[in-house]
Amino acid sequence: MTLADDDPKMYSWLLMSSTDVGEELRSERIRAHEKHREHSMESWPVLSAERFLVLSEEVGEVAKELNDAKVEGRPIDQAALRKELVQVAAMAAGWVAALDGGSPIHTDGGL
Ligand SMILES: [Mg+2]
């Protein structure tokens, strides 16, 4: 039993949006893998610390868009913000998938 079961109307937006982005995240993981090749976070073995650095870089790019908009006195570029958030989510999803797939990354002791 979850909160969504208690009040499905209240959480319908969450349930809908959750199912909509899964394929987009997979596509982003593939795009990033093809772009970065041997440096891809989809390649094994990849250390947890390496994944964290890349995830942090993507989070930083979200912060950059927000800060640039503020400093430049312009509205947040919603498309750019969304793109960076998808990259954050894709990186995290790939990390979770690696853990679920038995990747040794969680026992490597870091860099
Ligand atoms: Mg990015």
HEC letters along 38-67:
HHCCCCCCCCHHHHHHHHHHHHHHHHHHHH
Residue 61 has pLDDT above 70, yes or no: yes
What's the predicted TM-score (pTM) here? 0.79
Ligand 1 center to residue 4 CA distance, Å?
31
pLDDT digits 0-9 by tens, 67-84: 999 999 999 999 999 999
- Surrounding residues of ion ligand 1, Cβ less than 5 A: 58, 61, 84, 87
Residue 89 has pLDDT above 90, yes or no: yes
- Give the residue, 18 or 34, on which the prediction is more confident: 34
User: What pLDDT score does 46 carry?
Assistant: 85
Cα–Cα distance measured from residue 27 to residue 24, given in angstroms and rounded to the nearest whole number = 5
When pLDDT is cut at 50, 70 and 90, the band that residue 109 belongs to is very low
Residues 85-104 have a mean pLDDT of 87
Collect contacts of 68-76 with beta carbons under 8 A, ≥24 apart: none
